A and B are shown apart, each in its own frame.
Chain A
Amino acid sequence: MPHSSHPRRHSEFWIGARDSLPMLLGAAPFGIIFGTLAAPSGLSATGALAMSLFVFAGSSQFIALNLLAGGAGLPVILLTTFVVNLRHALYSATLLPHVAGLRQRWRIPLAFWLTDETFAVVQLRYAAPDLSPHKHWYYLGSALAMYGNWFLCTLVGVLLGRSIPRLEHLGLEFAMAATFTGIVVPFLKSMPMLGAALAAAAVALAARGLPYKLGLLLAALAGVVIGVVLEELREAP
Chain B
Amino acid sequence: MSGRELVLIIGMTAVTFLVRYAFFALGDRLAFPPLAHRTLRYVPVAVLTAIIVPMVLLPDGTHWQLTWHNAWLLGALVTGLIAWRFNHLLASITGGMLVFFLYRWIVG
> Hey, which bits of chain A sit against chain B, CB under 8 A?
21-22, 25-26, 43-44, 46-47, 50-51, 54-57, 60, 64, 68, 74, 77-78, 81-82, 85-97, 99-101, 104, 107-108, 110-112, 114, 116, 119-120, 123, 171, 173-188, 192-193, 196-197, 199-201, 203-205, 208, 215-216, 219-224, 227-228, 231
From B16, B40, B96, contact of A81 by CB (8 A):
B16
Interchain residue pairs with CB less than 8 A apart (11): A43-B5, A89-B19, A89-B22, A99-B24, A100-B27, A112-B20, A179-B89, A181-B76, A182-B89, A196-B42, A224-B42
Q: A55-B12, A93-B36, A223-B45 are in contact. List 19 more A-B contacts (CB 8 A).
A: A47-B2, A50-B1, A51-B9, A54-B9, A60-B12, A82-B19, A104-B27, A107-B24, A174-B72, A174-B96, A181-B76, A181-B79, A181-B92, A182-B79, A185-B80, A204-B51, A220-B50, A223-B42, A231-B38
Give Cα distance in the complex from A32 to B80, angstroms.
26
- Sorting the interface of chain B by its residue count into under 10, 10 to 19, 20 to 34 or 35 or more gives 35 or more
Q: Known contacts A78-B11, A185-B83: does B16 contact A200 (CB below 8 Å)?
A: no
Asked whether B23 lies within 8 Å of A183 as measured between CB atoms, the reply is: no
Say if the beta carbon of B21 comes within 8 Å of chain A: yes
> Hey, which bits of chain B sit against chain A, CB under 8 A?
1-2, 4-5, 7-13, 15-17, 19-28, 30, 32, 35-58, 71-72, 75-76, 79-80, 82-84, 87, 89-90, 92-93, 96-97, 100-101, 104
From A57, A100, A181, A216, contact of B16 by CB (8 A):
A57
Asked whether A196 lies within 8 Å of B19 as measured between CB atoms, the reply is: no
Asked whether B43 lies within 8 Å of A205 as measured between CB atoms, the reply is: no
Give Cα distance in the complex from A110 to B12, angstroms.
18
